[in-house]
Amino acid sequence: MQLTEAGLNDAEDIRQIHLQASDSAEAELVADLAVKLLRDKSAEQTISLVATYGGAIIGHVALGPVFLQGSDQLIGYILVPLAVLPGQQNKSVGSAVVSYGLDMLSSSGAHIISVYGDPGYYTRFAFNTDLARAFAPPYILKYPEGWHALRGSAANITEGGTLRCVEPVNDAEP
């Protein structure tokens, strides 16, 4: 398996991964979000990563920049969305692509990395609710227990506040 940054020519493969891996009620929304993040041209570029095997993309994760509400200073990233082709799940593909992304961010100066997802999955990467409580998500969450964060590499972490994401994430419904 290879882990690399995604390119614009990967958009349709990324879309298909999210359509196949997501719950049918939200598959279109998540797939559209993944492609919008790949194409996002904001000042701070979103990081979009893929896992490939045998020349085919089998997993994807995006890491979108986050800012404190009312500020344009980058303070971290939000991990959203993550998907692995159904036939490749439970083979550590998701863990590999998330770990690769976290490793990339370790030298970026990010104060925090947040995620909204399954606590049973994301706690294995050291995401926790304690740090997340200081940083309010950009919208009301249906499952607040899924809001987690981890400390980035920056020594002086921002005190907290409400996060603002790049437009594709701000526009997404939780």
Q: How many helices (H) and strands (E) does the chain have?
A: 6, 8
Q: What is the pLDDT of residues 54-70, one digit of tens each?
A: 999 999 999 999 999 88
Q: What is the pTM of this model?
A: 0.91
Q: What is the pLDDT of residues 124-140, one digit of tens each?
A: 999 999 989 999 998 88
107 — phi, psi (to 5°)? -110, 10
Angle, helix 27-39 to helix 11-21, in steps of 10 degrees: 150
Total number of domains in the chain: 1
CATH number at 109 reads 3.40.630.30
**Domain housing 33:** 2-171
Residue type, 32: D
Residues in the chain predicted with pLDDT less than 70, given as ranges, are: 43-44, 154-158, 170-174
* DSSP assignment letter at 69: T
